Amino acid sequence: MYTLNCNGTLIDLNTPRVMGIINVTPDSFYDGGKWTSLEAIEAQARIMVSQGASFLDVGGYSSRPGANEVPVDEEMDRVLPVVASLYKSFPHIPISIDTFRSRVAKAAVAEGAAMVNDISGGLLDEEMLSVVADLQVPYIMMHMRGTPQNMTSKTQYENVTQEVLSFFAERISLAREAGINDLVVDPGFGFAKTAEQSFELLRHLELFDVLDLPYLVGVSRKSMIYKTLGSTPGEALNGTTALHSVALLKGASVLRVHDVKEAVECVTLIEKLRGTS
């Protein structure tokens, strides 16, 4: 049974959980610039919590392909007031800080964040693993090559699933050596991966069981869905739900989503199908 210790509360992952995305960036691929005030952000968070979100993931640096570089102080200016506000309004909901910078992670945890979600698995900031260990919060490590600015040029793999698993074997070992207790892995769908490679990862997702850790799946409204269907991010909810069902059947513990209600319904139905609810 997998659990995460978030600010002293054990979160049971036996039943899959849903993480709501709170982007406070002007340029995210789907909802960039949608919520521009603390009041609007808090209203969106309240909807997500009422719909069943177990976590809220706050990010101030768009990681879409080709996204602009964001100075660290600007990232902190974007996320810290949001984390503080959400922690005050929803003290029972663990807040995740979506950052690859240890300075941002440390400051966000001081404002109430309960976990760190790092798209680089610690590769873009050599201090990240030691800082997370000192903070004693759960750490979500994602697989990516390069940076958001150049990752689309780094999609050469012999066997994408095996190479991602090898990456995690190495990074998990380093995280354990640093002293991180609670780990979650994220295969990084769409990050330095073509649509075909992302589908290959999803096809073999159950192989991640070998890591003996919970895994998070983030496919919500991504290009692997809407480009395959010839649509847009705004039209990709149905496709997202289809792939969420596959991910859950293959053992995903957390779904990171823009649309909480539909994801929670998906969890409910898959759990019924399994006979566990």
Strand partners, 23: 59
Q: What is the mean pLDDT of residues 16-40?
A: 75
Q: What is the mean pLDDT of residues 62-84?
A: 86
Task: Please say whether the beta carbons of 215 and 252 come within 8 A.
Answer: yes
Q: What is the mean pLDDT of residues 150-168?
A: 94
Digit-coded pLDDT (tens) for 86-113: 999 999 999 999 999 999 999 999 999 9
Residue with the larger pLDDT of the pair 36 and 163: 163
Task: Tell me the pLDDT band of 116, cut-offs 50, 70 and 90.
Answer: very high
Which of the residue ranges 38-47, 122-131, 250-259 would you say has the lowest mean pLDDT? Answer: 38-47
pLDDT of the residue at 66: 64
pLDDT of the residue at 34: 60
Q: What distance in Å separates the CA atoms of residue 249 and residue 205, rounded to the nearest whole number?
A: 10
* Exposed e or buried b per residue across 29-64, where buried means at least 16 C-beta atoms within 10 angstroms of its C-beta: bbbeeebeeeeebbebbeebbebbbbbbbbbbbbbb
Give the residue from 99, 107, 102, 16 showing the smallest Cα distance to 55: 16
Six token digits for residue 169: 């074997």
Residues belonging to the active site: 222, 256
- Sign of CA pseudo-dihedral 184, 129, 172, 242: positive
pLDDT of the residue at 69: 83
pLDDT of the residue at 29: 45
**DSSP characters for 210-260?**
GG-S-BEE--TT-HHHHHHHT--GGG-HHHHHHHHHHHHHTT-SEEEES-H
